[in-house]
């Protein structure tokens, strides 16, 4: 019996929910520049599956890696950490 590898998890903010059962998540990281030492904001976007269509723009969510659901969707929403104010 084979064991499944650990799946990656990310925390980000919903930037778009205009699609059916899909949302765009933006993950922002602070990275130190290798030469100048200044901290730079890096943004990465993920398209995640939202089965119940319950996420709104501005919500903080936790997503998990999953098998390909469509051409661009490889993530799904686990939980909504904080609702937008």
Domains and CATH numbers, the chain: 9-82 (2.40.50.140)
Q: Is the pLDDT of residue 2 over 80?
A: no
Q: Supply the mean pLDDT for the chain.
A: 95
- Predicted local confidence at residue 7, as pLDDT: 94
- pTM for the full model? 0.85
Query: What percent of the chain has pLDDT above 70?
Result: 100
pLDDT above 90: residue 58? yes
Q: What local confidence, expressed as pLDDT, does residue 85 receive?
A: 85
Band the pLDDT of 19: cuts 50, 70, 90: very high
74-78 LR contacts (CB < 8 Å, sep 24+)? 74/46, 74/47, 75/10, 75/25, 75/46, 75/47, 75/48, 75/49, 76/48, 76/49, 76/50, 76/51, 77/23, 77/48, 77/49, 77/50, 77/51, 78/9
């Amino acid at each position: 019996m084979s064991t499944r590898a650990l799946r990656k998890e990310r925390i980000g903010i919903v930037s778009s929910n205009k699609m059916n059962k899909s949302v765009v998540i933006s993950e922002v990281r602070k990275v130190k520049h290798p030469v100048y030492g200044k901290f730079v904001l890096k943004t990465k976007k993920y398209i995640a599956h939202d089965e119940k269509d319950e996420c709104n723009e501005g919500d903080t969510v936790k997503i998990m890696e999953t098998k390909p659901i469509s051409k661009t969707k490889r993530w799904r929403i686990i939980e909504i950490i904080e609702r937008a104010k």
